[in-house]
Amino acid sequence: MSVKIAILPEPAIQKRIFGDSQWRQLEAIGTVVRNETAGLPTPDTLRSVIEGADFAITSWGCSKLTGDILDRAPKLQAVLHAAGTVKGIVTPELWRRGILVSSGNGPLGQGVAETALGLTIASLKNMWQLTQSTRGGGWNAGKDRIRELYEVTVGVVGAGKAGRHFIRLLRNFDVSIVIYDPILTSEQAQALGAVKADLDELMRVSDVVSIHAPSIPETYKMINRERLALMKDDAILINTARGSIVDEEALVAELRKGRLFACLDVTDPEPPAPDHPLRGLPNCVITPHIAGAVGNGVRRLGQFAIDELNRLLAGEKLEGEVKEEQLSVLA
């Protein structure tokens, strides 16, 4: 029996998440109805495209799937979100009607974790200073500060998709891993290959602290003045999560002491002001929010949505399923 698949994002987003291979896979599954209207989808557009659909694929720019939109697709089984957070699209109506919801946080987290690993290695190797030195005609200045990803302690803040994948990558190295996540048990941490710690202890013992926590009220400026002061001299702080988790004023003050090094892929707000002190500090590297799916990596999200659809059709569980009760602790 053929199924109907509604592709709800605008054409520009479709072009980012799907290539020719993905379109062929979708068309082999069933009838594909695409949103062909440029611009953020209006409720009228969503109602038109989703009509009669068995499955819907969403992504960036899609608005909430309210009851009046869902009324047009009484057979809808699942909404597969080819992006990260589903908070912009979900309503209680989805779960009330028994419609499954899947998020692309998993594949998105892979890119984040890989970037965090790259920043970890580059920072321990002191590549940033050495690059500047060699560009200016030098050679060995800063070479004495090089460290390997070996017999160091890496602290992971947050055991979501990105944090867990980061730990999987770290297990390829001879390092100690500690993790802070209030909803993670010691047994679960051990199964991941890490040791559970409270946040203050993690900040105190880690040579590298990598932040992977969600931006929720409980994490706002969680990395504050007191916790930054706990960090070892020459420790490295990496934030590929959200800028709101770090008290940037406190971070600037600590970095000015020259004790720490920071790699920030996110700031609060984004971008930081042109004259923001973080931009001028020699022991701070800022990248423009590139840790997640960027460029060709965005196709990973579209492919994941298709893979989720195939899992459903095969009677398997969704890998990225989001339940209503999880929303309060998700990014």
Residues recognised as catalytic: 242, 270, 289
What CA–CA distance (Å, rounded) separates 156 from 300? 24
Q: Residue 147's pLDDT is what?
A: 97
Q: How, if at all, do strands 236-239 and 261-264 pair?
A: parallel
Q: Residue 329's pLDDT is what?
A: 65
Q: Residue 238's pLDDT is what?
A: 98
Residue of 91, 52, 65, 78 lying closest to 9 (CA atoms): 65
* Sign for the pseudo-dihedral over CA of 182, 183, 188, 193: negative
pLDDT per residue rounded down to tens, the chain (331 residues): 589 999 999 999 999 999 999 999 999 999 999 999 999 999 999 999 999 999 999 999 999 999 999 999 999 999 999 999 999 999 999 999 999 999 999 999 999 999 999 999 999 999 999 999 999 999 988 899 999 999 999 999 999 999 999 999 999 999 999 999 999 999 999 999 999 999 999 999 999 999 999 999 999 999 999 999 999 999 999 999 999 999 999 999 999 999 999 999 999 999 999 999 999 999 999 999 999 888 888 999 999 999 999 999 999 999 999 999 887 666 6
Q: What is the value of pTM for the model shown? A: 0.90
Q: Residue 292's pLDDT is what?
A: 86
Q: How deeply is 137 buried, as exposed, middle or buried, from its count of CB atoms within 10 A (0-12, 13-18, 19+)?
A: exposed
DSSP state string for 147-175 = --SSS-EEEEE--SHHHHHHHHHHTTSS-
Residue of 198, 244, 208 lying closest to 224 (CA atoms): 244
Would you say the CATH fold of 107-286 matches that of 3-103+295-329? yes
What is the CATH architecture assignment of 3-103+295-329? 3-Layer(aba) Sandwich (3.40)
What is the CATH architecture assignment of 107-286? 3-Layer(aba) Sandwich (3.40)
User: What is the residue extent of each domain of the chain?
Assistant: 3-103+295-329, 107-286
